[in-house]
Amino acid sequence: MSAGRDIRLRIQLAGGHSCEATLPEDAPELRALYAALAAPTPADELVQLPLDGGQSACSFRASQVVSIVSEPPVLVQPHTAEPAANLEQRQESAAHSRLRRARYLVIDDFLCPAEHQDMLLLATASEGNFTAGTVAGEHSEHRQNLVIASFGESAHAKLIQNRLLIWYPVLAKSLGVPVVAVGVVESQLTAARSRQFYKRHADVGPDCPRELSCIYYMHRQPRGFAGGELRFYDCVEQGGHSRPADTFEVVDAVSNRLVVFPSGEFHEATPVRCPSGEFADSRFAITTWLHRAARPDAEARFGWGHFCCGGVAPQFASTEGAAGSVW
């Protein structure tokens, strides 16, 4: 399908009901509708379609979808039967693989209200400083958002970086990953406007020793966008290698929320829909990466003194949370 089209839909539901809506062709709801229609056993997740420019919505279970009429046509690639030999080989390979759930932490109210408001004011006032985000070796179809790459040198970035360094040992313990010597700390301020996204990826590479990825979300109230959620894909581990599974969990981009995960986890930012088109209604985020140091620094403390003094942040009053938990 070509990019940028709006798809007009007439959806026939069980019981003789119907619903009409117009969606961007990259909307996750559109994919969910056709996935439910094509699946041998229909999914039973809730589908919510925006109507009247987001002023109202039509909600129903995916299993209720009977037929879809679209204009222009939406073509779905049919599934073909897999040869028996290939199926047996894949089943044998699967027997030696392990499916692991995505590891992440969700920490709400990460900053105090004054700090949060200061971060948001900086983001909304910096429209002229943003440039198109890029990924080395990837086309624009992989990532479309706006960034301030030099944000890491600002006082606002240092506030978040220092707090993460203080909390780093507890974050690593809660995620079940080893505490390592931290070297480079990298930050970006990003804005995602209407139809912008970041497809499935991991934050590590051969020359990129990132250990933890930390995404701090902010937006003005009331929220002027929909979508933009963070998807965490389960991981298939096999023979020392890993790849994303088809299953995933979704974390909403709630203002003043911090999401922390090992940088090797596969994740995706879903497309944003912003009816007003105003820059201030974008989904803003500050992404901070903690890198593994090439050589441990004997003088580094990584915030241990903070914990020894007993001043544990209130979000870490209990460290019994498992990966994927919300604190």
Kindly provide the residue ranges of all beta strands, DSSP E only, lying in the chain, ordered along the sequence.
6-13, 18-24, 46-51, 56-61, 65-71, 98-100, 105-108, 131-132, 143-144, 146-148, 182-192, 197-201, 210-218, 226-227, 230-238, 241-251, 257-262, 267-269, 272-273, 283-292
Q: What is the pTM of this model?
A: 0.66
What does the chain come to in residues? 327
Give 157's Cβ-side CA count (13 Å radius): 18
pLDDT of 72: 84
The CA distance from 132 to 149, in Å, is 10
The torsion defined by the Cα of 265, 110, 189 and 26, in degrees rounded to 10, comes to 60
Q: Output DSSP code: residue 114.
A: H
Q: Output DSSP code: residue 16.
A: G
Classified as helix, coil or strand, 254 is coil
User: Contacts from 154-162 at CB under 8 Å and sequence distance 24+?
Assistant: 156/118, 156/119, 156/122, 156/286, 157/187, 157/189, 157/286, 157/288, 159/115, 160/111, 160/187, 160/214, 160/216, 160/286, 160/288, 161/185, 161/187, 161/288
**Section 260-282 average pLDDT:** 95
Out of 2.60.120.620, 3.90.1150.10, 1.10.357.10, 2.40.50.180, select the CATH number for domain 102-316: 2.60.120.620
pLDDT of 115: 95
CATH architecture of 6-71: Roll (2.30)
CATH 2.60.120.620 in the chain is located at 102-316
pLDDT of 53: 67
Q: Output DSSP code: residue 207.
A: T
Helix or strand (DSSP H, E) at 326: none
The residue among 209 and 27 whose pLDDT is bigger is: 209
Between the alpha carbon of residue 247 and those of residues 96, 102, 201, 213, 315, the distances in Å are 19, 10, 14, 21, 29
Mean per-residue pLDDT of the chain = 81
pLDDT in tens, 225-256: 999 999 999 999 988 789 999 999 999 999 99
The residue among 305 and 35 whose pLDDT is bigger is: 35
CATH 2.30.30 in the chain is located at 6-71
Between the alpha carbon of residue 92 and those of residues 87, 95, 100, 238, 246, the distances in Å are 9, 5, 18, 12, 19
pLDDT in tens, 104-122: 999 999 999 999 999 999 9
